[in-house]
Structure 1
Amino acid sequence: MSLPSATTLPALLREAAERTPDAEALVVGPTRWTYAQLSRRADLAAEVLAGLGVGADDTVALLAPNIAEWVPLAVGAQILGARVDAFNTWVKAYDLDHLLASSAASVLVLVDRVRSSDLLGELESLLPELSTGLGWRSERFPDLRHVVVLGDRVPAGARSWAELVAAAEPAPRVPTARAEAPAFVLYTSGSTSHPKAVPLRHRDLVLNGFHIGERMGVTAADRIWFGSPLFWSFGCANALVNAMSHGACFVLQEEFTPAGAAALMAAEAVTVAYLLPSMVDALVGSVAIEVAAVDSLRTGATIGRPEEVRRAVEDLGISGMCNVYGATETYGNCCVTDHRTPVDVRVTTQGRPLPGVEVRVVDEAGQVLPAGEPGELQVRGRVTPGYLGDDAATAAAFTPDGWYRTGDRMLVDADGAVSFVSRTTDMIKTSGINVSPAEVESFLAGHPDVVEVTVLGSPHPSREQVVVAFVVAREPGLTAAGLIDWSRARVAGYKVPWVAAVVDELPRTGTGKLARRTLQQAAAELVAARLEGGA
């Protein structure tokens, strides 16, 4: 396909609606909207938000799962020139306090609850003014003017989205969004105590999303399944923009379950799937036959170790599955394998940089390394301009000449494709030998009873560090001792976990990333316990 002429998300949606008005654009549960209907729905959302005083440079905070209104509401705010701060739906009052203060949102639109999580209750504990009626002002959040609820329970001081929409008429207006302005601000965890605010600009979202789709072979005839949260960059900055920039249909699953995903893929004749490693494991473990039977499914995007990507290709039958690399700061993905390259290349590399993106590998002194030499990967071109309100974090994450420090140890081959080695801070040095956690993880994942694994180094009084493994078992019979014995018989001794633990699940942050600090503490405790036992 040709590159879209649109440079903002509202213009991109309107362009697709004018080109193929009757093509399906969004399928979520019982909702089925064509591009013309989705565009009108975005115009309607813009009218509602304009009535609440939203204008250029305002911030609309959106706290909702994968529901139909997420997309037109976000685009509607952007039509008015506002940015959308996407909050994750696992927040508690502590998290929401920081997000509302950091975003300086003038309007918060939220669902009343997500399954067992009472989001409105968490907000009310911070904003007791909601019980007093309309016209309140909050000392705690002075920028916040309105709370709008997507749901049935609407406090006296909030407004009902359904009622506001019912009273409004869509009136197409010239979008005031600017190409260089933030479309979304996403929040990513890191080394700081609070999530960092990552602004992603309209033009870069459009271009990056389009080029991702080109690597995946997406066309207007495709139907893209997505079951991860839209508030992650994998969703709103990647899959959604991929679909809109190609005029494809976006098939959204509100809550991922393996059986539900397989059924939805089959019912909607899905052709493209966005899968996380945990999703691949879940699908392979329970509904591999059903997914592989979806004859239409041909390509997609995932990330993970070679055996995880290969499972998506071979066990799920997604022959054109693409391996990807990126971060929120790089618009979701900055490197993507081409769906037409051989499988062995797609499972072992994360592909070449997308057009408009540069990568380089540097050593600890910041010197650029030649092809094939591992070092820290740095990215320039289509990256966030910096963290909002956090100059120190921005300075730490970027070099003076504008390269984003990924914190990942990688190498670039002679063809320009990148390959993940490990996190730069994750490399384990045990008795003078470097051990890659990724390599040990890949090995342990080959155990028939291991569903998920993570490996890290922990300090040891005489060995510098030792290898520690945490695994989630497929069957209850797996023990830490059994896993170590199995490893010792199959891999070099220095790669065998010195201590291991079988856990029910790996700890994760509110944004779904591994909680490495929690794991480091648990690893230190395991090492201490073994040392106390005389090891």
Structure 2
Amino acid sequence: MEKIWLKRYPNGVPTEIDPDHYPSLVEIFEESVKKYADQVAFQNMDKDITYKELDQLTEQFAAYLQSLGLKKGDPVAVMMPNLLQYPVALFGILRAGMVVVNVNPLYTARELKHQLTDSGTKVIVILKNFAHTLEKIIKDVQLEKVVLTGIGDMMPVPKRWIVNGVVKYVKKMVPAYSLSNTIEFNDSLAIGAKATYTRPEKMTGDDLAFLQYTGGTTGVSKGAMLTHRNMVANLDQISAFILPRLSDGQEVVITALPLYHIFALTANCLAFLKFGGKNILITNPRDMPAFVKELSKHKFTMISGVNTLFNGLLNTPGFKDLDFSELKIALGGGMAVQRAVAENWEKVTGSALLEGYGLTECSPVVTANPFDIEHYTGSIGIPLPSTDVKVVDEDGNEVPMGEPGEIMVKGPQVMAGYLGRPEATAESIKDGWFATGDMGTVDEDGFFKIVDRKKDMILVSGFNVYPNEIEDVVASHPKVLEVAAVGVAHEASGEVVKIVVVKKDSSLSEKEIIDYCRENLTAYKVPKLVEFRDELPKTNVGKILRRELRDE
């Protein structure tokens, strides 16, 4: 379709960007650490890391990885919440020319095994709190080294000892584990400091930067291959779109969403590194009173989150009393922003809550509301520079304006494909157009809205949950005959998982099935509602009708 949205771009926003402006993310990193050397890059638990220190620490970690004999393009996994170790590991891997495999630390052993096996991960950097999960599958994967870290490892002594001691012995947050071939994170940095870092030669935009795992309608998590060009493009697109609102080296960014999630990774960590921003890493945003206390220390200029995060903050005592005088951008994504939350946010903070839209496969941002919008619109905004978006029917033809259809995306941020899955790649990318699986509309000004989901995906607090995966786990219970999983609207998390089960053994209880799910699924995927029936609605060929269950 014609780019009707361009006329709505604010002054100073270009219509196109150059995705080859930088050969790779490494050049952006090197430029920033030099330009902003003495400024704070990341802060966590009151500990700062300047850009100069980040340069030094990441070079040490890159040198350590190279000292293991790993080569350019080798995958290295990172499994931890938002801690200072995260950006050190992240940029160290990239500077070594290797590929970052982001792992959700809440994964069960089954999920972790699949991701490490599928990606061919050689080394994992893992928080000790989750080492017991790795222990369960360590013999089934091809890891060459396990780098262990404690929550307080980047703190100065004696705070480091105190934090790690409290976490392990007082709060008992580190279950016992037994792993071989391990090294402490700080020891790896010490080894790297004595080793020689060799900057990888001939880094190009076609080199992989991230293997970012996403669910699929088959229930199997797939590795989206995000190249350096994909990521550089999306960074340039985001920065071009919001640049007129930002000041180099002066932004204070609240990063509460986990960095292993593509939204925070790109919109917070990478985008604001480019601007010399100060990223405040929140390790446990679920502790809302502590989160608000942390916010009170900063005159923050940008915060990103999902609807549930913003709603939680608004309902936490003390939040309304914070200083919002410097807040420029509040960016909502990952799930639909609810009107009531957005309007309350604006009333409390004096700042509009801008909604954007993206997907893991698009690095991730596709559309966003222009920064000059003063009030919530209910729209996911307009496409970023150098991005084409259209709405099509089942035959691939564009639908009339205002009519619903599937949203298709074309641009330099669209992934190279799914790792080792050419059929799935061909199914989702046709003639350069990525089929999002999301149903939406577009108006005469080029603003898009999501109206429904073509796929049966369930969205729990911004995380994709796929019914097939839930059904596969539940169906493996010996007392289950049939099962269907659907999403049910929920005030706090957007949706929750409901399963409808046909028993094979009449003794099967709700508690038994929930306990079984807890053993095999990450917490947000575990069903919150269970209904037992004698039979499930099906088509004439025997396919279970999830939509009929949802509509009920």
The normalised TM-score by structure 1 is 0.74
Aligned to 1:238, the other structure's residue is in SS state: helix
Give the Å deviation of 1:255. Answer: 1.0
Q: 1:270 corresponds to which residue?
A: 300
One-letter code aligned to 1:178: T
Aligned to 1:283, the other structure's residue is in SS state: helix
Give the Å deviation of 1:510. Answer: 6.6
- CA–CA distance in structure 1, aligned partners of residues 433 and 448 of structure 2: 16
Give the Å deviation of 1:225. Answer: 0.4
Q: 1:324 corresponds to which residue?
A: 356
One-letter code aligned to 1:74: L
Aligned to 1:72, the other structure's residue is in SS state: helix
**Alignment of 1:47 onto 2:63:** yes
Q: 2:149 corresponds to which residue?
A: 150
Assess if the C-alpha contact under 8 Å between 1:335 and 1:351 holds in 2. Answer: yes
Give the Å deviation of 1:218. Answer: 3.3
One-letter code aligned to 1:253: I
Counterpart of 1:246 (choices 257, 262, 275) is 275
Give the Å deviation of 1:262. Answer: 2.0
- CA–CA distance in structure 1, aligned partners of residues 534 and 204 of structure 2: 52
- CA–CA distance in structure 1, aligned partners of residues 120 and 62 of structure 2: 20
Equivalence map 1:331-410=2 (5 Å)? 331-343=363-375, 346-381=376-411, 382-399=413-430, 401-410=431-440
One-letter code aligned to 1:331: S
Give the Å deviation of 1:215. Answer: 3.4
One-letter code aligned to 1:215: F
One-letter code aligned to 1:199: M
Give the Å deviation of 1:301. Answer: 0.7
C-alpha change, 1:7 and 1:385, in structure 2 (3 Å) is same
Assess if the C-alpha contact under 8 Å between 1:149 and 1:160 holds in 2. Answer: yes
Moved more, 302-311 or 167-176: 167-176
One-letter code aligned to 1:168: G
Q: How many residues align?
A: 443
Assess if the C-alpha contact under 8 Å between 1:90 and 1:510 holds in 2. Answer: no
One-letter code aligned to 2:419: L
Counterpart of 1:298 (choices 322, 328, 334) is 328
Assess if the C-alpha contact under 8 Å between 1:66 and 1:252 holds in 2. Answer: yes
Assess if the C-alpha contact under 8 Å between 1:325 and 1:336 holds in 2. Answer: yes
Give the Å deviation of 1:421. Answer: 1.1
Give the Å deviation of 1:101. Answer: 0.7
Counterpart of 2:246 (choices 214, 218, 224) is 218
- CA–CA distance in structure 1, aligned partners of residues 454 and 392 of structure 2: 11
- CA–CA distance in structure 1, aligned partners of residues 311 and 534 of structure 2: 29
Q: 2:230 corresponds to which residue?
A: 204
Assess if the C-alpha contact under 8 Å between 1:280 and 1:311 holds in 2. Answer: no
- Unpaired segments ≥5 residues, structure 2: 1-11, 151-163, 165-176, 460-464, 468-485, 494-513, 538-551
Q: 2:478 corresponds to which residue?
A: none
Counterpart of 1:286 (choices 316, 323, 331) is 316
Q: 1:493 corresponds to which residue?
A: none
Assess if the C-alpha contact under 8 Å between 1:64 and 1:110 holds in 2. Answer: yes
Give the Å deviation of 1:8. Answer: 2.0
- CA–CA distance in structure 2, aligned partners of residues 525 and 239 of structure 1: 49
- CA–CA distance in structure 2, aligned partners of residues 248 and 38 of structure 1: 13
- CA–CA distance in structure 1, aligned partners of residues 23 and 107 of structure 2: 32
Q: 1:137 corresponds to which residue?
A: none
The RMSD of aligned alpha carbons is 3.5
Q: 2:479 corresponds to which residue?
A: none
Counterpart of 1:174 (choices 199, 206, 209) is 199
Deviations 1:496-528 (A, max 9, x none): xxxxxxxx9xx999788777xx58975989999
Give the Å deviation of 1:157. Answer: 2.4
One-letter code aligned to 2:436: T
- CA–CA distance in structure 1, aligned partners of residues 92 and 227 of structure 2: 16
Aligned to 1:159, the other structure's residue is in SS state: strand
C-alpha change, 1:244 and 1:231, in structure 2 (3 Å) is same
- CA–CA distance in structure 1, aligned partners of residues 51 and 444 of structure 2: 42
Give the Å deviation of 1:48. Answer: 1.2
Deviations 1:147-172 (A, max 9, x none): 22113888442122211212332766
Counterpart of 1:86 (choices 102, 105, 118) is 102
Deviations 1:319-364 (A, max 9, x none): 1432101111111221011121231xx4321111111211000012
Equivalence map 1:54-203=2 (5 Å)? 54-113=70-129, 119-127=130-138, 140-142=140-142, 144-151=143-150, 155-169=179-193, 173-176=198-201, 177-203=203-229
- CA–CA distance in structure 1, aligned partners of residues 418 and 291 of structure 2: 35
Aligned to 1:78, the other structure's residue is in SS state: helix
One-letter code aligned to 2:433: W
Give the Å deviation of 1:77. Answer: 1.3
- Unpaired segments ≥5 residues, structure 1: 114-118, 129-139, 428-436, 439-453, 457-466, 475-503, 529-534
Assess if the C-alpha contact under 8 Å between 1:379 and 1:404 holds in 2. Answer: yes
One-letter code aligned to 2:346: E
One-letter code aligned to 2:184: S
The normalised TM-score by structure 2 is 0.72
Give the Å deviation of 1:281. Answer: 1.5
State the identity %: 24
Counterpart of 2:47 (choices 28, 31, 53) is 31
Q: 1:484 corresponds to which residue?
A: none
Give the Å deviation of 1:214. Answer: 4.2
